[in-house]
Amino acid sequence: MKAALLLLAAGRGTRLRAEIPKAFQTLGDLTLLEHSARRLRQVCPPPEGELIVIISAQDRAVLLPPLLPMLAKLSARVVDGGETRQQSMQNGLAAASPDCDVILVHDAARPFFPIAAARQCLARALEVGAALLAVPATDTLKRCRPDGTVEATIDRHGIYNAQTPQALRRDVLDRAITHAKARGFAATDDVALAEAIGCPVAVVPGSPQNLKITHPADLVIAEALLRHFATSS
């Protein structure tokens, strides 16, 4: 198996209300991008794994240079991102070697994803076509009307919160992108592209610690998790 590991780091992270993009926020001594890149490299080392980092052209020129020695050590390549997440993923896919069997996509904003689960995600994608990390929904779910009042309580049985990494077999992703372009379909995550062409998607158990850094409070939680990992290792 040969895998392309796409690390999406082109987003602005406006909800974080920070002066620099989310991927370049520091967590401990490293940026979120560095944390995620190092973990991805453990999922699939070279030569079986190609690590491709997708960054906006502006950030590549201004913020990336200090990280280039680390990326070189990880044998990572850098490509420019697009206007949307889906376009950034497609730019990363275009940079992947033609002989890659499976594509793993991960958000730089999730620095604590479980490595073993990511490997299982790759294996399951090869088996069925696509796979993602996810955790069962634990909160009570409400569907609301436009005026903000509750319309119904949703049964959360069988409901999962999607995480990354997500993986798709190369042939599935190629067909899914062609389908999406033809219909102007923009997916909110990668495996939704596979769902749209009727491809099975396997769920691999994720982790509550696979936190996505979105709001300022998430960085505080992430710092606490980092200290926990340091003391428990």
DSSP per residue over the chain, as a string?
--EEEEEE-----GGG--SS-GGG-EETTEEHHHHHHHHHHHHS-TTTEEEEEEE-HHHHHHTSGGGHHHHHHTTEEEEE--SSHHHHHHHHHHHS-TT--EEEEEETT-TT--HHHHHHHHHHHHHHSEEEEEEE--S-EEEE-TTS-EEEEEP-TT-EEEEEEEEEEHHHHHHHHHHHHHHT---SSSHHHHHHTT---EEEE--TT-----SHHHHHHHHHHHHHHHHH-
pTM: 0.95
pLDDT at 233: 61
Structure tokens at 166: 């997500």
Instruction: Select from 171, 175, 182 the least CA-distant residue to 197.
Output: 175
Angle at 168 between CA 76 and CA 80, to 5 degrees: 40
CATH topology of domain 3-133+163-232: Spore Coat Polysaccharide Biosynthesis Protein SpsA; Chain A (3.90.550)
Comparing 13-22, 23-32, 157-166, 173-182, the range with the smallest average pLDDT is 13-22
pLDDT at 50 over 70: yes
Question: What is the arithmetic mean of pLDDT over 23-39?
Answer: 95
Whole-number pLDDT of residue 179: 96
Query: What is the mean predicted confidence (pLDDT) over 119-131?
Result: 98
